[in-house]
Amino acid sequence: MHNFRDLKVWKMGIQISRSVFQLTRTFPAEERYSLTSQITRSAISIPSNIAEGCGRASAKEFNRFLSISLGSAFELETQIILAFEFGYIDKINYDRTIIQINEIQKMISGLQRSLSL
């Protein structure tokens, strides 16, 4: 069992969630229950699944939750791309957010590799 609060990848997930929540505040009100909701749920899912996996009894179970977290990161990336395409995000915020998401994807994959050794 790992202490999730010590993991850099979990801390990055919290940072991304915070950034995404601030970003979606600028979205149109009519998006509140559609794309905004999807984006915030995907972002929250990243550190949440890392934390849940840390509480599991085996590396295999932890790895499964990391896979779910990684899937949420790819889902979030797609939703940020859509938000940019719809004109809800400017280029600067889009680039900054995609860089953060790509970084956590790499971190999660690296942690998965370390568990497989």
Structure tokens at 106: 């790499």
What are the structural domains, with CATH classification, of the chain? 4-116 (1.20.1440.60)
Q: Which amino acid is at 105?
A: Q
Output DSSP code: residue 30: G
Q: pLDDT tens-digit profile of 38-48?
A: 999 999 999 99
> Per-residue confidence at 116, pLDDT binned at 50, 70, 90?
confident
User: What per-residue confidence (pLDDT) applies to 115?
Assistant: 87
Mean pLDDT of all residues in the chain? 95
Residue 110 has pLDDT above 80, yes or no: yes
User: What per-residue confidence (pLDDT) applies to 117?
Assistant: 58
User: What per-residue confidence (pLDDT) applies to 32?
Assistant: 84
The secondary structure of the chain as a DSSP string is ---GGG-HHHHHHHHHHHHHHHHHTTS-GGGTTTHHHHHHHHHHHHHHHHHHHHTSSSHHHHHHHHHHHHHHHHHHHHHHHHHHHTTSS-HHHHHHHHHHHHHHHHHHHHHHHHHH-
Find the mean pLDDT for residues 71-81.
Answer: 98
Its pTM stands at 0.94
Distance between CA 60 and CA 5 in Å, rounded?
20
User: What per-residue confidence (pLDDT) applies to 103?
Assistant: 98
